[in-house]
Amino acid sequence: MAETDKNTRILELHTMLTRGECLRKKDLAQRFGVTEKSIQRDIEDLRDFFTRSGEPRVLAYDAKERAYVLRADKALALTNSEVLAVAKILLESRSMVKDEMFPILDKLVRCCTPKESLKQVQSLIANEKFHYVEPHHGKAFVERLWVLGTAVEKQRVLEIAYHRTHKNDTVTRRIQPVGILFSEYYFYLAAFIEGIDKQECFDNPEDKSPTIYRVDKIEKLKVTAEHFSVPYKDRFQEGEMRKRIQFMYGGELQRIRFAYTGPSIEAVLDRLPTAKIEKQTENGWICTAEVFGKGIDMWLKSQEPYVRLL
């Protein structure tokens, strides 16, 4: 066949590698009408490209296959076990519509090597993908997460239209975004409201914690050119708040003390990361915990009759 130009060959070889195929010099030389030395130079160029691009994969020679293959760089890439674990967590989260969830899963699974491992992980998650139930809101929002995250980092004021579930209405707000959180199927934005009468609108006007917004319920979003500043000592820390907030209900910080008589104290300690065992009794445990807001009431009710406030 006629000789194929170098750029076309490089692109086709790159495509073959990313599909998990092997590169054999003799076969490729015949396919493209060039010498094996030309193919070897193409392979070296691709190897250099993968090294310089920061890709978590390297182009290596597989003696068993007698071919060049794309392998995960062990220093950068996820192991096959890690890929499977993350894929399972994503599916169980049910946090995104299929059009956003499945491409992420597919990209993640393609990190598996060799090809047999990729097929094995695909098989292990295939049933869950087939029966995947999307969140009922049916909205795509992943791109918006990046916009919100950038606004948090750059401390940019946002203007939003937000649909409130409990009142079934839409309100407009100017807010100062300070963090993004995830809990039980939904992503949330933590933000302080500008220009609101706390005495009129808040159950507790003295509450200094941020308001919590479900990201999928933000109907309109505008990032303004205005900046806000928060002193370092007062900066919002998602990790600390996440340990203390239940069901994403805002509210003031409170300390609770309770008796637990159920079968698994580990489940309680995992559900309430700030919980500490004060002492063990004949019937169970006495614990304390720091929590934000009213969401803890829902959890306490769900644990009856094993949990009793003291």
Determine the Cα–Cα distance for residues 269 and 262; give it in Å rounded to an integer: 12
Question: 302: closest CA among 163, 134, 184?
Answer: 184
Question: 256: closest CA among 212, 300, 298?
Answer: 300
Question: Helix 80-93 and helix 115-130: axis angle, to 10°?
Answer: 10
% of the chain exceeding 90 in pLDDT: 46
pLDDT tens digits, one per residue of 240-289: 666 666 666 666 778 899 999 998 899 899 888 889 999 999 999 999 99
The count of residues in the chain is: 310
Tokens of 145: 């997460």
Determine the Cα–Cα distance for residues 29 and 42; give it in Å rounded to an integer: 11
pLDDT tens digits, one per residue of 36-73: 999 999 999 998 888 787 766 788 888 888 899 887 66
Whether 1 has a pLDDT exceeding 60, the answer reads no
Task: Give pLDDT, residue 296.
Answer: 83
Determine the Cα–Cα distance for residues 238 and 240; give it in Å rounded to an integer: 6
Task: Give pLDDT, residue 153.
Answer: 92
Count of CA atoms in the C-beta half-sphere (13 A) of 239: 0
Determine the Cα–Cα distance for residues 43 and 57; give it in Å rounded to an integer: 14
